[in-house]
Amino acid sequence: MPSLGADMEAATLIEWLAKPGDKMKRGDVIAVVETAKGAIEVEVFEDGVLEKHVVAPGAVLPVGAVMARYSGAGEVAAPRPVAPAPAPAPAPAAPKPQLVPEAPSPVRPPPAAGLRTSPAARRLAEELGVNLTSIAGTGAGGAITREDVAASAHAPAGKKATGFDFTAMRRAIAAALGRSKREIPHYYLSHAIDIGAAQDWLAAANAQRPPAERFLMGALFIKAVASAAREFPELNGFHVEGEFRASQAIHVGVAIAIRGGGLAAPAIHDCADLALSDLMARMRDLVARVRAGRFKSSEIADSTITVTSLGDRGVDAVWGVIYPPQVAIVGFGKIGMRPWVVDGQVVARPTVCMSLAADHRVSDGHKGALFLERIGQILANPSEL
């Protein structure tokens, strides 16, 4: 069971999406697990062959527990024993112990053969008296979600109409961020910039694009942070085992509010290298899947820096808490018209307040200030994005 975030201790195996004997490529989804933040698709990290399922769907597994036997590239699966040729009066052989025992499922099987549902959806169906066989699932691969169950029962919006246990999610978030505040010496900086050039560029670019393909300011924020992070490696990476490990890759975690409550910050990979149109497409896809409670293990496990934007909620600034083992989080507040000095004159200009929370074990205010300044310079020249 991989670690899918600093706030995860265990997860429930929902289903296997590969069977023994399947050849798999890096990035293929092997299983779906359910955590406090929803259903997560677990990907394999190298080419290989799935040899054996060790646990059955429904098993609750701590991080690091064995889920399956998998032969990676260059490995050879253990040969199956071959029956020896008959021999007169053979001596009784001691049975060979099984290396990894099969684990029984601790929960009951799905209500109907082939029906793909999560435990959360099954529990809600029992509470509302809904027949799962009558529901068309909208989840990945036709899986039935809690939203599907709630809609079928005409349940009102609220706690039961979501795909999450929000009490468990809040507990998990509190544990991770409480540890962050206790263990990471945060320092904070803010920097207000004139965002008018970015707004003008955005309006011109979107005028040539259909509504479904138009850019959002949030995409520019993410790309600017990723581009600046390339120049400031001490703000992009992980602090683990007492030391900082800079990351060559720039995977920006995007803080996304989940409908009904809760928060997730899955990554958009290789942001600095993406064209803005590709970044926007990935951002739309990611938001849609997170809101539906479905994302991939690689999106959760390897963010190298996080961006959070609360401007659409009306706040002027946001002061983030670093998500370990990352070492920095950048925040953006509301874009608003404010007094600004241009060529010695006070005029009304659209501005935004950027903030940085960073780990003082790795960087200091000097570097952090230069980092924020660089983000501002990039946003002042959006055609470079």
Domain ranges of the chain: 10-72, 186-384
Asked if residue 251 has pLDDT above 50, the reply is yes
Burial of 201 (0-12, 13-18, 19+ CB in 10 A): middle
pLDDT band of 338, cuts 50, 70, 90:
very high
What single string gives the DSSP state of each residue in 270-285?
A: TGGGS-HHHHHHHHHH
Residues 6+ apart with CB under 8 A from 55: 13, 61, 65, 66, 67, 68, 102, 103, 105
- The pLDDT score that the predictor gives to residue 151 is 60
- pLDDT at position 177: 84
Please give the mean pLDDT across all residues of the chain: 81
Q: Which CATH number fits domain 186-384: 3.10.20.90, 3.30.559.10, 3.30.565.10, 3.90.1150.10?
A: 3.30.559.10
pLDDT of residue 99: 35
Matching CATH topology for 10-72 and 186-384? no
Mean pLDDT across 280-306:
85
10-72 fold: OB fold (Dihydrolipoamide Acetyltransferase, E2P) (2.40.50)
Share of the chain above pLDDT 90, in %: 48
Residue 41 — pLDDT band, cuts 50, 70, 90?
Answer: confident
**What does pTM read for this prediction?**
0.66
Instruction: Give the pLDDT of residue 95.
Output: 37
Asked if residue 200 has pLDDT above 80, the reply is yes
pLDDT at 176: 81
47-51, 138-142, 187-191, range with greatest mean pLDDT: 187-191
Which residue matches tokens 């060979």?
Answer: 96
Write down the pLDDT at residue 158.
36
* Confidence bin at 175 (pLDDT 50/70/90): confident
**What's the CA gap between 89 and 68, in Å, rounded?**
39
